[in-house]
């Protein structure tokens, strides 16, 4: 049972528990209207101490589509944090109003700290360079939808692997499935951190590091692109030097297999050329939709909510 649990890191849930969330998400995809009142009367608080319009909208839309309500902020300067309130006190206060809290913070460990004081489920929506577990659930649902599962896949992650928390979370989570292989494609300056590689080494999971996307794209089942994040660089000059290191184009896609899927957590800058959007193997905009559905499923699981037995209302059916 996932009721009243926290989700701070993707490994907080077992593969079987993740499977429960993904299965419910697939059921919601098939019939969203049947879940339109599943969380009626429940409140989600979204506390975004760091900007992320897409993730916040996704959580808010998920709760609203479940018939619940939302409150929160997307600018900490409009909250009591600006007055010096501690994370623990914020958690206690907001936990007295809400049934589930979603928190995004630039400092690693904040979500876990908040979960100790909130008194309700806390979901990490990104903490510094650590984890972004609901993006991982989104990515897993996308892969499962197009590939039918995870076992035996060769997954390439490309771009900023040093600071890309979505990539860290995805690789860590996929490492729990059978016969996985990874290809880490990045500039030397932005290579995968040691803590991720050490985990793979400990499990005997094969991976290779390379700077060559063109020569390796044909080997991949999944290509996960990421942007070079300006906000993670101290030096503007260093950012400008590396940001265009890899750009996925039609010419490079022509070298890939017919069953490749290309993913991206978004927002993109210019690491995927716009013409790639028309390629059927580019699934990153479907990924956005899956993100809302998987968050609906997660919210339901954490709150112990069930869909109404009589199915969707007439209003929802008409919609």
Amino acid 130: pLDDT: 67
Q: Are residues 139 and 117 in the same domain?
A: no
228-160-101 Cα angle (round to 5): 85
Contact 107, 128 (CB under 8 A): yes
Residue 189 lies in a domain: yes
Find all residues with CB under 8 Å of 300, minimum gap 6, and list them: 24, 35, 38, 39, 66, 306
Domains contained in the chain, number? 2
174 and 44 both lie in a single domain? no
* 131 included as an active-site residue: no
pLDDT on residue 165: 80
**pLDDT tens-digit readout, 15-40:** 999 999 999 999 999 999 999 999 99
What global pTM score does this model have?
0.88
Note whether 199 and 256 are same-domain residues.
yes
Cα separation, 66 vs 307, whole angstroms: 9
Domain co-membership, 163 together with 273: yes
Residue 239 makes CB contacts below 8 A (sequence gap 6+) with 228, 230, 233
Q: Assess if residue 315 is contained within a domain.
A: no
pLDDT at position 318, please? Answer: 37
pLDDT at site 230: 72
Is 83 one of the annotated active-site residues of the chain?
yes
Question: What pLDDT, on a 0 to 100 scale, did the predictor assign at position 78?
Answer: 52
Please pick, among 56, 130, 132, 301, the residue that the annotation labels catalytic. Answer: 132
- φ, ψ of residue 300 to 5 degrees: the values are -60, -45
What pLDDT score does 84 carry?
60
Q: 176 and 52: one domain?
A: no
5 occurs within a structural domain = no
pLDDT digits (tens, 9 = 90+) for 115-132: 999 999 999 998 876 678
Are 120 and 101 found together in one domain? yes
Could you tell me if 164 and 235 lie in one domain? yes
Low-confidence ranges of the chain (pLDDT < 70): 75-84, 129-130, 229, 232, 308-319
User: Residue 138 in contact with residue 167, Cβ under 8 Å?
Assistant: no
Beta pairing, strands 122-127 & 222-225: unpaired
CATH number, position 108: 3.40.50.1370
Considering the domain architecture, whether residues 165 and 251 belong to the same structural domain is answered as yes
140 lies in the same domain as 280:
yes
Q: Which two tokens stand for residue 99?
A: 């049934």
> Tokens representing 13?
């849930």
| Confidence at residue 60, expressed as pLDDT on a 0 to 100 scale | 96
- Please give the residue range of the domain that contains residue 17: 10-131+291-310
Per the domain annotation, does 237 fall within a domain?
yes
**Active-site choice (42, 55, 166, 227):** 55
Reply yes or no on whether 315 is catalytic. Answer: no
**What is the reported pLDDT for 75?**
64
Considering the domain architecture, whether residues 167 and 78 belong to the same structural domain is answered as no
List the catalytic residue out of 5, 54, 145, 176.
Answer: 54
Q: Which residues contact 204 (CB under 8 A, 6 or more apart)?
A: none
One domain for residues 110 and 137: no
How crowded is the C-beta side of 56, counted as CA atoms within 13 Å?
18
- Predicted pLDDT of residue 246: 83
Active-site entry in 56, 104, 165, 168: 104
Cβ density class 191-219: b for 16+ within 10 Å, e for less: bbeeebbeebeeeebebeeeeebeebbee
């Amino acid at each position: 049972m996932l009721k009243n649990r926290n989700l701070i890191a993707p490994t907080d849930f077992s593969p079987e528990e993740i499977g429960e969330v993904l299965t419910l998400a697939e059921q919601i995809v098939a019939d969203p209207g049947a879940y339109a009142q599943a969380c009626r009367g429940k409140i989600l608080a979204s506390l975004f101490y760091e900007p992320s319009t897409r993730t916040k909208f996704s959580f808010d839309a998920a709760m609203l589509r479940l018939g619940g309500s939302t409150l929160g902020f997307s600018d900490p300067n409009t909250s009591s944090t600006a007055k010096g309130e501690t994370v623990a006190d914020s958690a206690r206060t907001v936990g007295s109003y809400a049934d589930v809290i979603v928190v995004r913070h630039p400092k690693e460990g904040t979500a876990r700290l908040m979960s100790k004081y909130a008194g309700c489920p806390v979901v990490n929506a990104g903490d510094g360079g650590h984890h972004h577990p609901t993006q991982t659930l989104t990515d897993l649902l996308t892969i499962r939808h197009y590939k039918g599962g995870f076992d035996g896949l060769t997954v390439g992650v490309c771009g900023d692997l040093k600071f890309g928390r979505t990539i860290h979370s995805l690789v860590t989570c996929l490492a729990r499935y059978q016969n996985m292989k990874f290809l880490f494609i990045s500039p030397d300056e932005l290579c995968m951190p040691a803590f991720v590689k050490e985990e793979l080494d400990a499990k005997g999971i094969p991976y290779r590091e390379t700077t060559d996307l063109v020569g390796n794209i044909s080997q991949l089942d999944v290509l996960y692109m990421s942007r070079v994040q300006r906000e993670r660089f101290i030096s503007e000059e260093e950012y400008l030097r590396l940001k265009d290191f890899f750009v996925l184009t039609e010419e490079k896609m022509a070298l890939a297999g017919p069953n490749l899927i290309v993913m991206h957590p978004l927002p993109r800058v210019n690491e995927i050329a716009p013409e790639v959007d028309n390629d059927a193997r580019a699934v990153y905009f479907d990924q956005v939709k899956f993100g809302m559905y998987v968050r609906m499923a997660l919210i339901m699981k954490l709150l112990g909510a069930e869909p109404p037995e009589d199915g969707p209302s007439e209003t929802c059916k008409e919609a």
